[in-house]
Amino acid sequence: MVETIPACPDAAKLTAAQRRLAGFSPRPLGHGAAGMLLLALLVMAQACAHAQNRGPKRDAWQHPGQVMDELGIHTGSVVADVGCGRGYFTFHMAQRVGPSGKVYAVDLQQSWIDEIRKRAAAEGLKQIRALQGKPDDPELPKDSLDVVFAMNTYHEWRQNVAMLNHIYLALKPGALFALIDGNAATSHSREYYHLHHRMPESMERADVLHAGFVFLRQEPGFTQPDDQKQFYFLVFQKPVAQ
């Protein structure tokens, strides 16, 4: 998944404790200033990466509660967040499905999977199952999911046919597959869209229909505030009759 998060706040907005941690001082740095500055930048970058991945500002434009409502995710649901990144939607889903449900968090980046596992353990969220998937297979159990969700990630799938086939097999009959991705103008190659981290809605819709899904509806999308990137939201269903 490509993380879609707003810009990091500047140093002036850090708390006194955060400034001390980052190496800021009210006095001149003196000898070794370059090294301390580098350390400060590294610490700030790590802190910002964690802070930007969740919180009210991101909730305000990605509307996780509304997204889950539109997909019928409720207590006891079994869902998958494919291309989960650091788990922004994963943890919202975990709170929604509760202990009786299950959330599969799938990504290719092992470091992000480890991060999710650590946070889930710290918060006692046993309903989260974090998995490192493969480029052609999210490694989900067959005929077991109510919803598979992919946010800002489909454009990354170079083996999209195989991925869609595995997702189809993982869903229960009548279950939903939802795509949210950045829109793009048509007429470019698929490789172009891979590199520019967005893809036309028409291309993704055609791919999913070809995999055997039924198109149900297009829900309202949203706009990323820092660069005005436009996202569409498509909902498909695995046919009930097999």
Record the pTM. 0.78
Res 105 pLDDT > 50: yes
Write down all domains in the chain, each with its CATH number in brackets. Answer: 11-52 (no CATH), 57-237 (3.40.50.150)
Q: Choose between 25 and 153: higher pLDDT.
A: 153
Task: Give the model confidence (pLDDT) of 195-213 as tens digits.
Answer: 999 999 999 999 999 999 9
What tens digit of pLDDT does each residue of 52-91 get?
355 678 778 788 999 999 999 999 999 999 999 999 999 9
Question: Which stretches does DSSP call E strand in 23-143?
Answer: 78-82, 102-107, 128-132
> What mean pLDDT is reported for the chain?
83
% of the chain beyond a pLDDT of 70: 77
Is the pLDDT reported for residue 48 higher than 70?
Answer: no
Greatest extent of the chain over all pairs of C-alpha atoms, in Å:
73
Contacts with 81 (C-beta within 8 Å, 6 or more apart), sequence order: 87, 89, 90, 93, 103, 104, 105, 106, 149, 151
pLDDT per residue as tens digits for the range 128-165:
999 999 999 999 999 999 999 999 999 999 999 999 99
Q: Which pLDDT score is estimated for 123?
A: 97
Confidence label for 238 from pLDDT (cuts 50, 70 and 90): very high
pLDDT at residue 52, rounded to an integer: 38
Spatial neighbors of 236 by CB under 8 A, at least 6 apart, are 176, 177, 178, 179, 208, 209, 213, 214, 215, 216
Is-contact 133 107, C-beta < 8 A?
A: yes
pLDDT in tens, 29-46: 445 555 444 444 343 334
First-to-final CA distance of the chain: 31
Distances (CA, A) of 51 to 5, 7, 96: 10, 11, 21
Q: Can you give the length of the chain in residues?
A: 242
Phi, psi for 238 (deg, rounded to 5): -75, 125
Closest-CA residue to 200 (of 180, 216, 179, 186): 186
CB contact burial 47-72 (16+ within 10 A = b; e otherwise):
beeeebbbeeebeeebbbeebbebbe
Q: How distant is the alpha carbon of residue 205 from its chain centre?
A: 19
**pLDDT of 1 higher than 60:** no
Q: Which of 9-13, 30-34, 141-145, 215-219 has the lowest mean pLDDT?
A: 9-13
